[in-house]
Amino acid sequence: MATRAPVVQVEHICKDYKLGEETVHALKDISFNIDDGVFLAIAGPSGSGKSTMLNMIGCIDTPTSGKIVVDGTDVSGKTPDELADLRSRTISFVFQTFNLFPVLSAEENVEYPMLRRTDISKSERKERVSFFLNTVGLAKYAGHRPNQLSGGQRQRVAIARALATRPRIVLADEPTANLDYKTGESILSMMKAINRAFETTFVFSTHDQRVMGMADRLVRIEDGELTTLGVRAGNVWKYVKEKDVPIPTSDAEMQQLLKEDPELRRMIMEDPELRRALLDDQSVAGVAGKGGR
């Protein structure tokens, strides 16, 4: 899979936040690579440092120590303007809160990040706007303002906006957290399809089981430490640090797996986060009822 050089290299990243007298170690010595074209999920409990990690990769936050190389460029010590230009060319964001410009129509929102790109001509711009609005299935809504769109439609516009600059990497911080189950799912499969079709690298942070189900790379962060690096091998996560865990595609299958594998059951009982990651809580209660909560 990784025939090309990694899009992002994360090397020994630490991030501390000072809160008054206290220092919060949000990230502790994290290293991993993001290969070109992957669909990577950063998982972990709330407050574990997922968003912080994504911000580092997106060059909108700087690590306390360590090095990040994005698209062959070491970003440490770059000026804000240089970082802005780097973002403009190689990085796109999809936000949990969509973050569309409320005064711009859907197509203007998609066009916006291309406006400062002198290398994209006006006709090229217009072409891309309609192409990507079409890709996300919103051609009909081109003239609508964000407040005239549903949450799912807004996120689609945001995705079209993220893709329009043809970035090397799209960073999405919990892109489905503000959407209902079905909408989230369709957004995800759309992103997956785009990932396949354009070979755009996607990096998510998520609590969402389904996102992990679609990912082909998994990075688990707990309390600022990288605990698991997973590579999908068929239906199984090949874990670098831990026992392989099968990837359930449905709740029924998951429960089947749990019945068959006492070791996995024990792991899930012991690790609430893994439990949350792999199941919704009801099914755990159903399977492992008495031991549970």
Partner 1 sequence: MWKLALRNVSRQKLRTAMTVGAIAAGVVSLVLAGGFVADIFVQLREFTIHSQLGHMQVYKEGYYQYGTQAPAKYVIDDPEPVKAALLKNPQVNDVMARLNFSGLMSNGRSDLAIIGEGVEPNKEQKLGTYLSIIAGRHLTDDDQFGIVLGEGVAQSQKLSPGERVTLLMNNKDGSLNSLDFEVVGVFRSFSKEFDSRAVRIPLAAAQELLTSPGVNSLVVSLQRTADTEAVAAATRLQLSGKGYELKTWEELSDFYRSTVELYDVQFGVLRLIILGMVVLGVANSVNMSIFERYGEFGTMRALGDRNRTVFGLILAENVIVGSTGAAIGIVLGILLAVAISAVGIPMPPPPNSNTPYVAYIRLVPLDLLGAFVIGLMAAVTAASMPSWRVSRSHVADALRRNI
Ligand X SMILES: Nc1ncnc2c1ncn2[C@@H]1O[C@H](COP(=O)(O)OP(=O)(O)OP(=O)(O)O)[C@@H](O)[C@H]1O
Q: Are 57 and 68 in contact (CB under 8 A)?
A: yes
The answer to whether 116 contacts partner 1 (rule: CB under 8 A) is yes
Q: How is residue 46 written in tokens? A: 């709330």
Map residues 185-224 to x or -, x wherever contact with ligand X holds by CB under 6 A. --------------------x-------------------
Q: For the chain, list the strands marked E by DSSP.
A: 8-19, 22-34, 39-43, 65-70, 73-74, 91-94, 169-173, 201-206, 217-222, 225-233, 236-239
Applying the rule CB under 6 A, the residues between 142 and 161 that interact with ligand X are: none
Tell me how many degrees the CA angle 221-222-228 measures, rounded to the nearest 5: 50
Map residues 51-70 to x or -, x wherever contact with Mg ion holds by CB under 5 A. x-------------------
Q: Are 237 and 230 in contact (CB under 8 A)?
A: yes
Among 6, 37, 49, 63, binds ligand X (CB under 6 A): 49
The owner of tokens 């970003």 is 75
CA 66: distance to chain centroid? 21
Among 3, 20, 21, 46, binds ligand X (CB under 6 A): 46
Q: Which stretch binds Mg ion (CB under 5 A): 47-55, 73-81, 232-240, 266-274?
A: 47-55
Report what 24 binds from ligand X, partner 1, Mg ion, none; CB cut-off 5-8 Å by kind: ligand X
Nearer to Mg ion, 49 or 230 (CB): 49
Q: How is residue 134 written in tokens? A: 């079409």
For the CB of residue 174, give the shortest distance to ligand X in the complex, in Å. Answer: 6
Rounded to whole angstroms, how far apart are CA atoms 65 and 181?
Answer: 38
Q: How many residues bind partner 1 (CB under 8 A)?
A: 26
Q: Are 190 and 156 in contact (CB under 8 A)?
A: yes
Applying the rule CB under 6 A, the residues between 265 and 284 that interact with ligand X are: none
Map residues 51-90 to x or -, x wherever contact with partner 1 holds by CB under 8 A. ----x--x-xx------------------xx--xx-xxx-
- As a whole number of Å, the CA-based R_g of the chain is 20
The answer to whether 113 contacts partner 1 (rule: CB under 8 A) is yes
- On the 0-12 / 13-18 / 19+ scale of CB atoms within 10 A, 108 is middle
Percentages helix, strand, coil for the chain (3-state, rounded to 5) are 40, 25, 35
Among 11, 14, 24, 210, binds ligand X (CB under 6 A): 24
Q: Which stretch binds ligand X (CB under 6 A): 48-56, 80-88, 113-121, 231-239?
A: 48-56
The answer to whether 96 contacts Mg ion (rule: CB under 5 A) is no
Quick count: other Cβ atoms within 10 Å of Cβ 266? Answer: 12
Among 3, 19, 118, 293, binds ligand X (CB under 6 A): 19
For the CB of residue 6, give the shortest distance to ligand X in the complex, in Å. Answer: 22
Rounded to whole angstroms, how far apart are CA atoms 238 and 218?
Answer: 10
Q: Residues in the site for partner 1, rule: CB under 8 A?
A: 55, 58, 60-61, 80-81, 84-85, 87-89, 91-93, 95, 97, 99, 101-104, 112-113, 116, 161, 165
Interacting residue ranges for Mg ion, rule: CB under 5 A = 51
Would you tell me which residues interact with ligand X (CB under 6 A)?
A: 17, 19, 24, 26, 44, 46-52, 205
